[in-house]
Amino acid sequence: MAQTYDVIVIGAGPAGYVAALRCAQLGMEVACVEQWINTQGNPALGGTCLNVGCIPSKTLLESSEQYQKLKQGLDTHGIQLGSVELDLQQMMQRKHEIVAQLTDGIAQLFKSNGIVWLQGRGKLLAAHQIEVTAHDGSTSLYSADHIILATGSSPVTIGAAPLDGERIVDSTGGQEFTEVPKTLGVIGAGVIGLELGSVWKRLGSEVILLEAVDQFLADVDEQIARDALRQFTRQGLDIRLGARVVKTEVGDEHIAVYYQDQNGDHTLTVDNLLVCVGRIPNSDGLAAPEAGLLFDERGYVHTDEYCQTNLPGVYAIGDLVRGPMLAHKGSEEGVMVAESIAGHSVNPLNHDAIPWVIYTHPEIAWVGKTEQILKTQGVPYNVGTFPFAANGRAKAMGESSGMVKILAHAETDAILGAHIIGPMASELIQECVLAMEFSASSEDLARTIHGHPTLYEAVHEAALAVHGMALHKVNT
């Protein structure tokens, strides 16, 4: 007879482990199925985000930025240094230690909240049963009143550049190089490609990014994207737009990358190649046919706005369902589903108030609508911008490039979108997210007192500029 729980969660990434924790907090008996094996060969919680995604990549971004500042960013502060050397092994070791600390922390939270960790691969069967295949191949059956599917996503692979795990790698392998590549090709100039390309550029690689789309960062506000392209190019990132890779050949010493653009056929020779062209949901084999779970044409689990699937008592959250593949989006869905199971009154996620961040230097962050979307939709709007060049704190930090841009409805003044490129954009955007969640107007933000001198004053000034009232720039 299958062991029964109140809730079984399949997947322990940010969506799954948060859902499990919230269910346990609400008094439910919870089990969580997770099959992840880390780079040390040990079972681990945390999914892609903590093991090979958000956390290790941001750790490398921070370390590489510190290295770059020591090499060439401190002289303007009157600080002169001698020789600065890179210890890549130590940098990678620090990354592994931080990942271990956080994943071990989740294991401790599971233990403290009485959550049972079922190690292995979970599969949804009929009648609310779950089959768990352990790492040794043995299988066990469990059942639950409620089941939450949260198996995340994986990098997309392309036939033109088959991975070999050493020289042609995906985002996971792009965080594990044991030597700094002399030349690094990156297929895809989106969020992940830019972040990992920035890491290796700072550490000494010549980095060439091949982006098949003609428009740089097509989902970002066009004004912000143009500024970003200008700044990244100035940093030495070679970004080639409209470049579609058609074939790769791995030689004894180099990789030949064949690509096409509007000017014809080209060949690029690199030492290593990083493939970052998107992610797909981990839905293959998730459910047995007899379970009757409904998927869409792209492999996403079909759900309503409350993450309820077509099967009563079965939910899907995170990268498995439509919407942005963002850890924080999945976590909030996990909380919503847990509270719904507990009988609480819940509201669906406000997708217009989900922040996006690119952790390059400068950082890029945004929430809500872009100017191009508002134009397409015919929404009347006002724009307020403010440059960090006019912000005292940014000048003192030596980080005066970029801007804050706020879009507000021309009639109601409700904030429709906020876009930031510059220092600490990942932190500054949260004020705008909060404002939008509470349906604030640009005037509300403009009337909020901001400390001085702070970077947040740039947000304040952009809100003032919506109605031509900025104090520290000429209003146009």
Active site includes 146?
no
Provide the β-strand partners of residue 255: 250, 270
Task: Say how far apart CA 102 and CA 92 lie, in whole Å.
Answer: 16
Strand ranges of the sheet holding 183-187, from the earlier edge strand across to the other edge = 168-169, 272-275, 183-187, 206-211, 238-241
Chain centre distance of CA 368: 16
Would you mind telling me the total number of residues written for the chain in this entry?
476
Nearest one of 278, 240, 247 to 261, comparing CA atoms: 240
Catalytic residue among 77, 344, 351, 452: 452
Sequence-distant (6+) residues with CB within 8 A of 154 are 48, 279, 280, 282
Nearest one of 404, 406, 362 to 387, comparing CA atoms: 404
Nearest one of 154, 159, 150 to 171, comparing CA atoms: 154
Compute CA distances 302 → 95, 261, 281, 393, whole Å: 36, 37, 12, 47
Residues known to be catalytic: 452
